[in-house]
């Protein structure tokens, strides 16, 4: 459904924020903006638009910094014009496709090793994931890549353990650090950076979406639990790869990669939002 012209005119002057508000105004969150543009009551999660598109957009709005968040505005207009309809499965398959064929291989590129490059090429070589059949065909490849990156990370952690005392938390890899009072390893900069990149580009959210939002609250999807597992395996591949590449890329390189993936996520959000639209 097209967004009314008067609401578009008002929205042009809105500043997107992370925090929520009591009523529509010059400052609104991503969820409030989608509700406003779609003509709904002032609520956090709009009810008449695509849940997949709305949840991803809301989480991107929360993850972006104040400046970057303003670039989300035209994409929110597309989300507001989407509908919660029979195309919701298709939208979610496009999210899986992004996770498996864009996010995971791009993170593997960051490792800078021949094996990682080969794994990235395998993921990029998969056919587009557009439905249950093509999603099922990804399972053997996704499983192989998941096991390989997990093995690579475990091997790297073992080498660090052998080379340095566990208490040496200044090691640039960030893979091994000091232990807290409870005996558990304390979070390291590389691990926090890997999670930050995944959250910042919507990859973490897209993995949680089916199992925690759509699958539980409806509409009921036709996807199987193995498909969910392969989707989440792609996130694990990305996290392991970011951990392996963090020391080589450094903070600046990780930030550049996150911005690149954010741009890619926004493009995919538009594709998801526009499925089924006739205007």
Tell me the C-alpha distance between 269 and 266, whole Å.
Answer: 5
pLDDT digits (tens, 9 = 90+) for 34-85: 989 988 776 656 778 888 888 889 888 888 889 999 999 999 999 988 877 7
Q: Is the pLDDT of residue 250 over 90?
A: no
pTM of the model as a whole? 0.81
Q: How far is CA 106 from CA 42, 126, 164, 174, in A?
A: 38, 14, 30, 20
pLDDT digits (tens, 9 = 90+) for 180-237: 444 434 445 666 678 888 888 888 777 666 555 445 444 445 555 556 667 788 888 9
Q: Note whether 233 and 142 are within 8 A (CB).
A: yes
Residue 277 vs residue 139, higher pLDDT:
139
Q: What is the crossing angle of helices 132-163 and 114-124, to 10°? A: 170
What does the angle CA 47 – CA 91 – CA 218 come to, to the nearest 5 degrees? 45
Q: Note whether 72 and 16 are within 8 A (CB).
A: yes
The pLDDT-based confidence of 172 (bands split at 50, 70, 90) is very low
Tell me the C-alpha distance between 155 and 116, whole Å.
Answer: 14
The secondary structure of residue 72, as a DSSP letter, is G
Q: Is the pLDDT of residue 28 over 60?
A: yes
pLDDT of residue 39: 82
pLDDT of residue 158: 64
Tell me the C-alpha distance between 43 and 53, whole Å.
Answer: 16
Tell me the C-alpha distance between 274 and 137, whole Å.
Answer: 26
Sign of the CA dihedral with 182 first, then 179, 238, and 189 last: positive
């Amino acid at each position: 459904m097209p967004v009314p012209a008067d609401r578009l005119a008002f929205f042009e002057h809105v500043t997107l924020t992370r925090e929520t508000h009591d009523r529509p105004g010059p400052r609104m969150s991503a969820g409030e903006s989608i509700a406003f543009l779609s003509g709904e009551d002032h609520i956090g999660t709009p009810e008449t638009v695509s849940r997949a598109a709305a949840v991803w957009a809301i989480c991107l709005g929360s993850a972006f910094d104040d400046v970057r968040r303003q670039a989300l505005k035209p994409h929110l207009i597309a989300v507001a014009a989407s509908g919660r309809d029979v195309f919701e499965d298709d939208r979610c398959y496009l999210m899986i496709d992004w996770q498996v064929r864009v996010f995971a291989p791009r993170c593997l590129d960051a490792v800078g090793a021949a094996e990682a490059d080969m794994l990235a090429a395998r993921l990029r070589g998969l056919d587009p994931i557009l439905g249950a059949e093509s999603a099922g065909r990804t399972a053997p490849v996704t499983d192989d890549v998941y096991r390989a990156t997990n093995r690579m990370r475990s091997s790297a952690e073992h080498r660090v353990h052998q080379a340095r005392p566990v208490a040496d938390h200044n090691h640039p890899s960030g893979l091994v650090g000091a232990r807290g009072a409870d005996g558990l390893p304390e979070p390291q900069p590389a691990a926090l950076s890997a999670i930050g990149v995944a959250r910042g580009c919507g990859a973490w959210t897209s993995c949680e979406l089916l199992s925690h939002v759509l699958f539980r609250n409806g509409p009921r999807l036709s996807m199987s639990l193995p498909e969910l597992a392969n989707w989440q395996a792609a996130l694990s591949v990305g996290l392991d790869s970011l951990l392996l590449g963090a020391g080589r890329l450094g903070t600046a390189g990780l930030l550049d990669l996150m911005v690149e993936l954010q741009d890619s996520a926004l493009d995919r959000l538009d594709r998801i939002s526009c499925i089924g639209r006739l205007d």
